A and B are shown apart, each in its own frame.
Chain A
Amino acid sequence: MSKKKLIVKGVRLDGRKWNELRPIKIEGGVLPNADGSAYLEQGRNRIIVGVFGPRELHPKHLAKPHKAVLRCRYHMAPFSVDPRRSPAPSRRDTELSMVIRNALEPALFLERYPRASIDVFVEILQADGSTRCASITAASVALVDAGIPMRDLVAACSAGKIDSEVVLDLNDIEDKEGEADLPVAYMPKLGKVTLLQMDGMLSPEEFDKALNLALEGCNKIYELQREALKSRYVKQGEGRSAE
């Protein structure tokens, strides 16, 4: 088998160690026309998220009399991958939209806005693996930016298995060539998992290791989300004070 090695002398193809995240940059409030927004870079991923609402839901028969409806749209730009991808929503896009919605919903107080809708638009400008996790991370920053009441932020991160080793935060090649991928979304302050998927095969021991690794990754990403929000809304040197 002429498969390319993904880990050479303990170092991954992009130079990371097994438990290292890709470089991440998060910025809140990048779209003036949206109620809330965020931009995220994770390795070569580039994602922009716009949040609208709570607003009147159309068509009205979809509205729920006791709570708001969370609608998510995950979409990859035609130029986000090589070769060019059709801009029409694919089956994968539809499923990821659902996955993102399910991962965010437990964090929201939807019952505060009966009959309304909260719309989350996720646009993948450039894709390089684990985009569902990166989308959830960015979307939760955008939701806070929109001032929508939340139980906690949702941070998401993937772990997986490549060249028989459990590693953190898979990129595109590692996801495609590797043996397993385990995306996890997590509410760090409440200690609750809102998304757990697995693609490929892991032994029970490997699964435990990968899950714990992904949760650690989520905690690190949470700190970055926090930094991003604080740099937008908190003045320098402002913290705890007594009035």
Chain B
Amino acid sequence: MQRKGRGRLRLKRIVLPGEKIGVIEEFLLGEGTYEEEGVIRSQVLGEARLDLERKLAVVRPRTRTPIFPREGSKVVGEVGEVKRQTASVDIFKVDNRLITTPFTGIIHISSVSRGYTRYMSQVVRSGDIVRARVINTKNRIIQLSIMEPEYGVVYAFCSKCGALLELKRTRLSCPNCGRVERRKVSRLYGTEVLE
């Protein structure tokens, strides 16, 4: 019953990269740590936290953290070239953080919807803003999926006059020229904050 009274005991201290936090016999390696010759050290400038109950050493960074798309990341980007089976995307937002130099991703026609899609241009158009999920980074280019309902086009533009299309039930219509267009629309159409 000793554990109950003690609760979660934690020690906190500011460390720099390379500073010793403990040894591998004491703790498991958590975020922001690495091991060299049996010694656990910090990778970043931050607060080293030693969880004595879970035997886990982590360093919570105090600095900015690098933005890098990984498998599972939610990204937002502008559609570039749309080919028959693929569309390229300039990713400018990764996990809700804006980035200055874009990463390039690609959507393949097979990860657009569960049904059959004949041409990529039926679901996205050049200039659209899409919300997508990273499904693979192991190939030359970041592969994206817009399969689930929250992914897909969040802002679409009229291919005739360029105005922002409005979502009316399941159709996108142009408030300017009345043209009706089709996209793979996200459940979050029109709500994504871009800046």
Contacts and interface: CB of A to CB of B under 8 A. Distances in A.
A171 to B, nearest CB: 29
B21 to A, nearest CB: 11
Contacts of A55: 99, 101, 103
Interface stretch (B40-48, B123-131, B154-162): B40-48
Given A189-B20, A241-B12, A241-B13, A147 B61 contact: yes
Contact of B17 (A54, A150, A230): A150
A189 B41 contact: yes
A56 B17 contact: no
A92 interface: no
A144 B11 contact: no
Contacts of B61: 147
Interface residues on A, range: 35 or more
Contacts, number: 100
Given A52-B101, A109-B34, A147 B18 contact: no
A150 B66 contact: no
A199 to B, nearest CB: 29
B63 A109 contact: no
Interface string B13-24: 110111110000
B80 interface: no
Nearest to B99: A55
A107 B140 CA distance: 26
> Which among A35, A114, A187 has the highest number of chain B CB atoms within 10 Å?
A35
Interface of A: 35-36, 52-56, 60, 107, 109, 113-116, 144-153, 187-190, 226, 229-230, 233-234, 238-243
Q: Which 7 residue pairs of A and B lie closest in terms of their CB atoms, listed nearest first? A: A152-B18, A189-B18, A149-B43, A150-B17, A147-B63, A55-B101, A233-B62
Interface of B: 9-14, 16-20, 32, 34, 36, 41, 43-45, 49, 61-66, 68, 99, 101-104, 137, 140
27 contacts: A55-B103, A56-B102, A56-B103, A109-B34, A113-B68, A146-B64, A146-B66, A147-B63, A147-B66, A149-B17, A149-B32, A149-B44, A150-B18, A151-B41, A151-B43, A189-B18, A189-B19, A229-B16, A229-B45, A230-B14, A233-B14, A234-B14, A239-B13, A241-B13, A242-B9, A243-B10, A243-B12
